[in-house]
Amino acid sequence: MRLHKHSLFLKIFLWFWATVIVIGIALVVTFLLQPGRMSSRWHDSLANAARYSGAVAVEEAELHGTPAASFYMKQMGGSTHMHACLFDEAGNAIAGEGCELFARNISLVRSKQNVSIFTRDGIARVAMPIQSSGGRKYIYAAEIPTGTPTISRTAIAVRVCVVLLVSFCICYLLARYLTVPILRLREASQLLAAGDLSTRASADMERRNDELGFLVRDFNAMAGRIEELISRQRQLIYDISHELRSPLARLNVALDLARERKGNNSAFDHMEQDIERMSEMIGRMLTVAKLDTSSAPVQMTRIDLSELVSQVVRSAEFELRERDNAVRLTIRGLCFVRGNAELLQSAVENVIRNAARYTTSDASVDIHVERLEREDGSFILLSVRDYGVGVPESELSNIFRPFYRVANDRDRQSGGAGLGLAIADRVARVHGGTVRAQNAAPQGLRVDIFIPAAGKE
């Protein structure tokens, strides 16, 4: 799947993932990383434990002196892992070891005259003012292991990674679930627009029971309708052309009978000319309609395109010799294609005829056939160039439409019906090739037909 910066997939995926991550962070921040927000009951029990041992320590100090208090606290530390110190009212340590630890607690107790508790890395530091039975004030501080497990940095990193990975997977799947049908639908609509009217979105998407499923079903219904309409229209064109032939055939015979009986007359000549024109037009229309409608595969054989073009040129020369312009044919390389000889011949003939019709009377028609290696495979290029007035740039893409005529020139008197290039276009497409028209410098039109080259026999 190709993604670009603004794809829906990326948007949905990133938004969901970011949301999950932010929620996670908020949870962690709220519940774990805020010191001093422990439950009050736990605080009370900590304070009570400290108060009890503190009272004993003060007792010891008053009755047996500070060394006794130190000894008591050391002993207690050995049995309960509680590390404690005793300070006087001013905050000077009077018993215990390593009492600098409690500096922060002490200053807080002194300013607030209240219990202060810090918890960090599974250890709680508790400090509190204590009054002895004799009325003297002390400050007792103790470091108590809280029993909550110590979480190492690597453990935290692993957890974060797991959370990220799981949320990534879920968000990825969710985003895919939502966007893949849209992408598929887009592919289908592109194919439809490119002319493959039998395209439908896949059936497993149609079975979805959500909004996307509805959309896919509607799309398929629409594609079916378009296909039906267009094929009906093409069939109609085909049928009309087909049916027109019978009366035209009769007209031909009737005209000949009339000639037989009434003798030659210029009116008959006109009629005959028009009948001929009509029958040629119908023939071409049928070719176009057939190429448009037929879904049956065209019979393909290996054909030497240069030979085929030479043959067409020989016949064309015959017609052109009456008109003073010559055909110049150049062939480079082996030009084998897989194709249908009849169709290719009619395409080549139509393009060359077209060029011969529009080239100026003393100019030539240049035909070039060669094998080209392009990124997307080997192609045979057939290039036909005339020296006529060319076609306005804006109309270049239209000249392959049936019956299309360039406004300025290309008059009806020239005899064509505007079907020749349409045939060439369809024939090229049937062969998996393309047709392109461009104006040549200094004047004239160049039509390039690309047909995929056939492999080695």
Partner 1 sequence: MRMARVLIIDDDVELCRLLAERLSTEDFSIEAIHNGQRGLERVLSHDYALVILDLMLPGMKGLDVLRHLRERSTVPVLILTARGEDVDRILGLEIGADDYLPKPFNPRELIARIHAILRRTNYTKNATVPLVVDDIRLDSTAREAWINKTQLDLTGVEFSLLETLLHHAGHVVTREHLTEVVLGRKLGPFDRVIDVHISNVRRKLTHAADAGERIKAVRGSGYLLVVRSEVT
In the bound state with partner 1, the residue whose beta carbon lies nearer, of 121 and 260, is 260
- In this chain, which of 34, 113, 131, 299 binds partner 1, going by CB under 8 A? 299
Q: How far is the CB of 179 from partner 1 (least distance, A)?
A: 46
In the bound state with partner 1, the residue whose beta carbon lies nearer, of 344 and 451, is 344
Helices 266-293 and 420-430, axial angle in degrees (round to 10): 20
DSSP per position, 267-335: HHHHHHHHHHHHHHHHHHHHHHHHHHH--SPPP-EEEEHHHHHHHHHHHHHHHHGGGT--EEEEEES--
Give how far Cα 398 sits from Cα of 229, 291, 343, 394, 419, Å.
Answer: 22, 18, 21, 8, 12
In the bound state with partner 1, the residue whose beta carbon lies nearer, of 56 and 298, is 298
Site stretch for partner 1 (CB under 8 A), options 45-53, 157-165, 310-318, 395-403: 310-318
Q: Which residues pair with 302 in a beta bridge?
A: 338
Q: How far is the CB of 338 from partner 1 (least distance, A)?
A: 17
Site stretch for partner 1 (CB under 8 A), options 82-90, 112-120, 152-160, 306-314: 306-314
Q: How many CA atoms lie within 13 A of 444 on its CB side?
A: 21
Residues making up the chain, counted from first to last: 457
Beta 327-332 vs 377-385: how paired, if at all?
unpaired
Q: Is 323 in the site for partner 1 (CB under 8 A)?
A: no
Q: How far is the CB of 450 from partner 1 (least distance, A)?
A: 23
Yes or no: say if 32 and 155 are a contact pair by the CB < 8 Å rule. no
Q: How far is the CB of 318 from partner 1 (least distance, A)?
A: 7
Give dist(CA 312, CA 308) in Å, integer: 6
Q: How many CA atoms lie within 13 A of 169 on its CB side?
A: 5
Spatial CA neighbour of 138 closest among 95, 74, 97, 108:
95
Contact characters 218-257, partner 1, x per CB under 8 A: -----------------------xx--xx-xxxxxxx-xx
Q: Is 271 in the site for partner 1 (CB under 8 A)?
A: no
In the bound state with partner 1, the residue whose beta carbon lies nearer, of 174 and 251, is 251
Q: Is 342 in the site for partner 1 (CB under 8 A)?
A: yes
Q: How far is the CB of 371 from partner 1 (least distance, A)?
A: 19
391 three-state secondary structure: coil
In the bound state with partner 1, the residue whose beta carbon lies nearer, of 128 and 282, is 282
In the bound state with partner 1, the residue whose beta carbon lies nearer, of 211 and 457, is 457
Spatial CA neighbour of 83 closest among 52, 137, 123, 130:
123
In the bound state with partner 1, the residue whose beta carbon lies nearer, of 83 and 426, is 426
* Interface ranges with partner 1 (CB under 8 A): 241-242, 245-246, 248-254, 256-257, 260, 275-276, 279, 282-283, 286-287, 289-290, 299, 307, 310, 312, 315-316, 318-319, 342, 345-346, 349
